[in-house]
Structure 1
Amino acid sequence: MGLLELVEVEQRLRGPDGCPWDREQDHATLAPHAVEEVYELLDAIASGTDDDIREELGDVLLQVVFHAQIADDDGRFDIDAVARGIADKLVRRHPHVFADARADDAASVMRNWEQLKAAEKPERDGIFDGVVAGQPALTLVAALQTRAAALGFAWPDAAPALAKVREELAELEQAPAERQAHEVGDLLAAVIAAARQLDVDPDLALRAHAARFRQRFERAVALADAPPGELSDEQWLALWDEAGADAT
């Protein structure tokens, strides 16, 4: 009932006697709001409460309903078509559940998913067609690596992936200034690859770190008996350690 109610509310807002702002929106004007809501959801997942996550999921859901209603108003498709489309896709992409295919682990599922995706869209000639180049660099690299892994280009387990991280760190330590940016990129890519082998989402892990850093640094500043700009390196280190002890 809740989902249907949301659809009806948005229909009313977009209706003749609805909200002037809602009625003026189109896919392009709403796009920045969709990006913002997704990032707010990621923040809630990293450091929020269940109430925060529920609220942000609702905001993301509103974006889906809003875009579908815009299309419905133009006679193109409606929210039911959106829901049917994703349900059908999930059934097709999970033949190990809804048909007779086998997938013994998550890696097998992802390989099957990418192979089925490629078969459904044969017009894509490039291996990386469909990977959004404009996304943040961390998720872009993760997406490229996932696509390559689906074709068999991946470490067999975490051990060699972690060894590669150590190798790239050593190369960075020895690199001349003009090569350092290149080596930093290689090191970051190696860490992302290792995270995948450890079944860790690198974006979520980094967001969780950012939340911890922010909280700990704010505690350190609150503990200081002088303005932050007047603290020595030794004072900063002591405050950082004290703030970390408070966190435990």
Structure 2
Amino acid sequence: MQDEYSLEDLLYLMARLRDPRSGCPWDLKQTFDSIAPCTIEEAYEVAEAIEADDYEHLREELGDLLFQVIFYAQLGREQGCFDFPRIVDTLVRKLVRRHPHVFPDGNLDGEADTGDVDAVQVKRNWEAIKAAERNVKGDAGVLAGVAVGLPAMTRAAKLQKRASQVGFDWPDIHGVLDKIEEEIAELREAVALGDRRHVAEELGDLVFSCVNAARHLKLDPEAILRGSNRKFEQRFGAVESALQARGRRFTDVSLRELDRLWKRAKAEQTPKPHDP
């Protein structure tokens, strides 16, 4: 039986794929910019496998995500910017620096000194260290360093979280819910006026407030929206199947009939509460 491949084998494979003489034509065409969207897609597929508790699939998806890092490392090596060992070195140094309760002397092999530090204190220390690092880089603003390239919903949550750390936040969920109702009223006014630019602005404010509600409820807005997407797909699929069983199409029935089929699918797919 063949031994399992190693990280060194993966690095060698990547170098072979990018070999100018005998490599893969597709891989040779890629750049940092061209594979960045693939990295985002692979990260989402990892999240989906975790949400589905599909750990066999997760192993494969994590491999695909790791391959993205290996690809960047190869591109960096070719351009003389960095290589995989430099990536690892930078990461380890940063993590040692951000965990002083585990590495009090700043040494990877140093003795741990966790003492009475709990998870809340660790998180507070982590954010303080990150803020200090931003200051060193010249990014002194409270919201500095929140990546512009993040999905808009994820970036909204991060911006809100960063602002909350300096006290710019609603004290509880009730203030957020009131804000959502206020934004809905403003959206209705904008729709009534028929100003598309104003409608877009007010709708964006409403979505931003909904993200804030998710943050206050300690929910990931991207994850819960993915859940709603799956639920919609399942219910829509049930409606479609019901129509196909009758030899009919969506255009053959009224909106009232579609609404009835939708409600039936919703009732069938909604988990029943357990009896006490």
TM bin (shorter chain):
0.7 to 0.9
Deviates more, 1:216-225 or 1:160-169: 160-169
- 2:31 corresponds to 1:9: no
State how far apart, in whole Å, the 1-side matches of 2:83 and 2:146 are: 26
- CA spacing shift, 1:91–1:162, aligned 2, 3 Å: farther
Q: Deviations over 1:137-164 (max 9, x none)?
A: 2122112112212222223343433343
Higher relative contact order (CA 8 A, sep 6+): 1
Determine if contact 1:114/1:147 at 8 Å carries over to the other structure: no
Q: Which residue of 2 aligns with 1:221?
A: 240
- In the TM superposition, residue 174 of structure 1 has moved relative to its aligned partner by 5.8
TM-score of the two chains, using structure 1 as the length reference:
0.82
State how far apart, in whole Å, the 2-side matches of 1:96 and 1:241 are: 54
State how far apart, in whole Å, the 2-side matches of 1:208 and 1:55 are: 22
TM-score of the two chains, using structure 2 as the length reference:
0.75
Deviates more, 1:116-125 or 1:92-101: 92-101
- In the TM superposition, residue 46 of structure 1 has moved relative to its aligned partner by 4.6
Match of 1:57 among 45, 54, 62: 62
State how far apart, in whole Å, the 2-side matches of 1:172 and 1:19 are: 52
- 2:240 corresponds to 1:235: no
Q: Which residue of 2 aligns with 1:72?
A: 77
State the identity as a percent.
41
Larger radius of gyration: 2
Over aligned residue pairs, what C-alpha RMSD do you find? 2.9
- In the TM superposition, residue 131 of structure 1 has moved relative to its aligned partner by 2.2
Match of 2:156 among 120, 125, 141: 141
Q: Name structure 1 gaps, 5 residues minimum.
A: none
- In the TM superposition, residue 74 of structure 1 has moved relative to its aligned partner by 3.7
Match of 1:119 among 120, 132, 146: 132
**SS at 1:121 equivalent:** helix
- CA spacing shift, 1:117–1:144, aligned 2, 3 Å: same
Determine if contact 1:158/1:197 at 8 Å carries over to the other structure: yes
Q: Which residue of 2 aligns with 1:183?
A: 202
Matches within 5 A, 1:141-220: 141-173=156-188, 176-177=192-193, 178=195, 180-220=199-239
State how far apart, in whole Å, the 1-side matches of 2:100 and 2:180 are: 35
Figure out how many residues of one structure are paired with residues of the other and give that number. Answer: 247
State how far apart, in whole Å, the 1-side matches of 2:100 and 2:178 are: 35
- In the TM superposition, residue 2 of structure 1 has moved relative to its aligned partner by 3.9
**SS at 2:74 equivalent:** helix
Determine if contact 1:44/1:53 at 8 Å carries over to the other structure: yes
